[in-house]
Amino acid sequence: MQKIWKRPRVLVLIVIAAVIFLTFQFFSLEALFHTQNKAVQVSHLNNEDRVLENVIENFNDEDSVPIELEKSNNNKVDKPIGVHDDDAHLYKAVHVKKKEMFRCLETKKLIPFSWLNDNYCDCEDSSDEPGTAACPRGRFYCTSQLPNQKAVSLPSSRVNDGICDCCDGSDEWSGEAPPQWMRHKGKNLVQQAPCQNHCNAIAKLSKENEQIRKMGQRLKKVYLQAAQTIRDKERYGPNGVFYKLSQKCFLYKSSPYEYNICPFHSVKQEHFPSERWFLGRKAVWKQKSHGQFLLQMLEGDAANCPIGKSRQSMILFLCGINDRVVDLREDEKCEYVIKFATPAAC
């Protein structure tokens, strides 16, 4: 009887041991499979993301635009204030009977050279007062000009008016502040005399923007490749370059709201626990050429909007090195402007 009892006990122990062994094997295989699967996923990263990473990594100092400000030769040119370098030769003294004279640029009238910028208009063509507000048709050229930029000039009537128009403040060479009654009280509205020189900061920002543009143009190739197989390319801009953006949604938070921007599909505004509003559901290009990309999102919700009007959004695509919403604001009632940075716009 005791032998009979021992045999089932041995069998039970064997079964239990077998179950434990199989269970251990199962979890071991599952863990191994998970590890291998994860390795496969890593080894098969999205080709587009790999290309993007490689472009950013390979964008070295040789390809970047130097940040330092190019030194201007403006101060080395002998010329009256308010005259552009290219016109400096027109403001050289003409010697007539051993006297230094200035020849008005259009009328060719001769006046004493000392009358230049004396705050009195002697030439009918206004050419003798480039640096003062004396002549009605005069133009003032800022002393410092940014490299590779269009020359900055302003009507001479704005010279010494107390408002800084030139980045170096050269238009306010008198240094006098505007009268109290003319001063602007708005914060950051305008710069008022005495002025500060901001040309270096502006030039540096311009260089940084150029660097972003160059990198963005490289990254843009990935966006064009993503659209190679689609049929309706024009729906997504030139050569379908914005198609890649249509495959994602982008979250933007601006207290107390959250916005979900899905380019070419919808724009939604949420404020828990309030109701969700659509700020646009139909994509229509407003402009998609000459570097300007404006996408309208129409037919949003009309509740609480002016009669006959529904919510709509305007997505302004800007050149950037990654896809992100830069800014979102309601410009007018039920009309929203979204600034969206992306290499596709470079």
> What pLDDT is attached to residue 295?
96
> What pLDDT is attached to residue 19?
54
Length of the chain: 346
CA angle 217, 221, 225 (to 5 degrees): 160
Q: What is the DSSP string of 245-293?
A: GGG--EEEEETTEEEEEETTTEEEEE-TTSPPEEEE-EEEEEEEETTEE
Q: What is the rounded distance in angstroms from the CA atom of residue 167 to the CA atom of residue 69?
A: 14
Instruction: Using the Cα atoms of residue 191, residue 196, residue 201 and residue 202 in order, give the sign of their dihedral.
Output: positive
List beta partners, residue 140.
Answer: 154
Q: How far is CA 178 from the centre of its chain?
A: 33
> What pLDDT is attached to residue 194?
83
Q: Residue 206 corresponds to which amino acid?
A: S
CATH-assigned architecture of domain 233-345: Distorted Sandwich (2.70)
CB 234 within 8 A of CB 243: no
Mean pLDDT for back-to-back runs of 10 residues, the chain (346 residues) = 49 57 50 39 42 49 39 61 94 93 96 96 96 94 87 93 90 75 48 80 87 93 94 92 96 92 96 87 91 94 90 96 94 95 95
> 0.75 exceeded by the pTM?
no
User: Domain ranges in the chain?
Assistant: 233-345
> What pLDDT is attached to residue 272?
77
> What pLDDT is attached to residue 6?
47
SS3 content of the chain, % helix, strand, coil (to 5): 35, 25, 45
> What pLDDT is attached to residue 72?
42
> What pLDDT is attached to residue 179?
58
Q: 336: part of which helix (H) or strand (E)?
A: strand 335-342
